[in-house]
């Protein structure tokens, strides 16, 4: 698809991403002099879709800007404007530089524990704010978490994006009764297409991400496996410390509580989950995974070749030499 020169008043620079639902462009707003991201839902994407599916796409788009419009949080993407372009709606959002957590995972190198805890703390803060404003995201996954940081990931900041299937108080499931979401991060109640989803479904999804941050593996095994859904609905994941030896066992109970099959057994709120992690953080703030270099460790001072008491004797000897020299001079 050709990149347009302009969308409304916005000058398009390049394409950031393209999917079945729409296209996202990087653009410049001449009025506010800022770089923005524009998500466009074009009618051309509906060429092979029926009327109900097209209507559902428009509803999803409307849900996203309504959901994000209710939220004001440093870890949630900002929506600046909405409009229409070539028969389809578009949404102008804050441009967030960085890479999504999915790409970080694909690099195959796990982050140090302290960095993982910082990411989780911000993610859970965003969810706590969202849930308090009656917005359940329902699609928390690595590709919807943008990580902005320097090259060494020492000042990481996360932004939660894509509220397209968020549950507002008045919203429901898809028209065919299926719960929307990404299977690899869906809670058991989402997989069972329950209609009364609440914030605990996002807590489960965050729990999956936390497990992946700790171990580099999915808690329920390969998603493409025919038995995946059965495992989510019936199995208890292997504790993180047994999955990856460098993970302290203290994290096991916190991780498994977030992944409980029955939502009544999970953390009641994202804030409660975050507090459990903060309780563990001081003891593991400088802990690193094997193979990771810590930038928090103090460099030890070189060891002295002799005890400090020897220095004292040398100084006394020098003083006596000076005194003896002076006495000899005056006697001459």
What are the structure tokens assigned to 162, written together? 């894509």
Give the bridge partners for 12, in sequence order: 27
Residue 139 to residue 93: CA distance in whole angstroms:
18
What are the structure tokens assigned to 91, written together? 């949404």
Give the three-class secondary structure for 159.
Answer: strand
What are the structure tokens assigned to 163, written together? 């509220």
Q: H or E element: which one contains 49?
A: none
Q: Where are the alpha helices (DSSP H) in 14-169?
A: 51-69, 101-106, 113-132
Q: Which of 57, 100, 121, 139 is catalytic?
A: 139
**CB within 8 A of 45, min separation 6: which ones?**
20, 21, 22, 57, 88
Residue 29 designated active-site = no
Residue 281 to residue 194: CA distance in whole angstroms:
35
Residue 258 to residue 263: CA distance in whole angstroms:
9
Task: Name the phi and psi angles at 234, rounded to 5.
Answer: -130, -25
Residue 231 to residue 228: CA distance in whole angstroms:
5
Instruction: Give the distance, in angstroms, between the CA of residue 214 and the centroid of all CA atoms in the same chain.
Output: 13
What are the structure tokens assigned to 110, written together? 């796990």
Q: Half-sphere exposure (CA, 13 Å, Cβ side) for 132?
A: 11
DSSP labels, 187-221: -HHHHTT-S---HHHHHHHHHHHHHHHHHSS-TT-
Residues annotated catalytic, as ranges:
139
């Amino acid at each position: 698809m050709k990149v347009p020169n302009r969308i409304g008043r916005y000058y398009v620079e390049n394409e950031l991403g393209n999917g079945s639902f729409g296209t996202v462009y990087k653009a410049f707003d001449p009025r506010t002099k800022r770089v923005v991201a524009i998500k466009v839902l074009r009618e051309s994407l509906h060429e092979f879709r029926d009327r109900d599916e097209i209507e559902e796409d428009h509803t999803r788009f409307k849900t996203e800007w309504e959901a994000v419009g209710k939220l004001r949080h440093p870890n949630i993407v900002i929506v600046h404007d909405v409009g229409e372009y070539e028969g389809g709606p578009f949404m102008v959002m804050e441009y967030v530089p960085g890479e999504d957590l999915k790409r970080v995972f694909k690099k195959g190198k796990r982050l140090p524990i302290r960095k993982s805890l910082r990411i989780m703390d911000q993610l859970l803060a965003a969810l706590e704010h969202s849930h308090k404003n009656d917005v359940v995201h329902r699609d928390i996954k690595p590709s919807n978490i943008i990580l902005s940081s320097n090259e060494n990931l020492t000042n990481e900041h996360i932004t939660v994006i894509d509220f397209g299937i968020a549950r507002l108080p008045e919203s429901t499931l898809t028209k065919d009764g299926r719960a929307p979401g990404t299977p690899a991060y869906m809670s058991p109640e989402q997989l069972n297409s329950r209609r009364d989803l609440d914030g605990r479904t996002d807590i489960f999804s965050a729990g999956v991400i936390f497990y992946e941050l700790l171990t580099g593996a999915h808690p329920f095994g390969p998603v493409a496996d025919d038995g995946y859904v059965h495992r989510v609905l019936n199995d208890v994941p292997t504790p993180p410390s047994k999955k990856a030896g460098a993970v302290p066992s203290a994290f096991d109970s916190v991780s498994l509580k977030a992944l409980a099959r029955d939502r009544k057994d999970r953390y009641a709120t994202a804030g409660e989950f975050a507090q459990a992690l903060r309780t563990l953080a001081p003891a593991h703030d400088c802990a690193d995974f094997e193979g990771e270099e810590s930038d928090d460790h103090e460099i030890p001072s070189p060891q002295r070749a002799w005890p400090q008491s020897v220095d004292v004797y040398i100084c006394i000897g020098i003083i006596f030499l000076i005194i003896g020299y002076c006495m000899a001079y005056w006697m001459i």
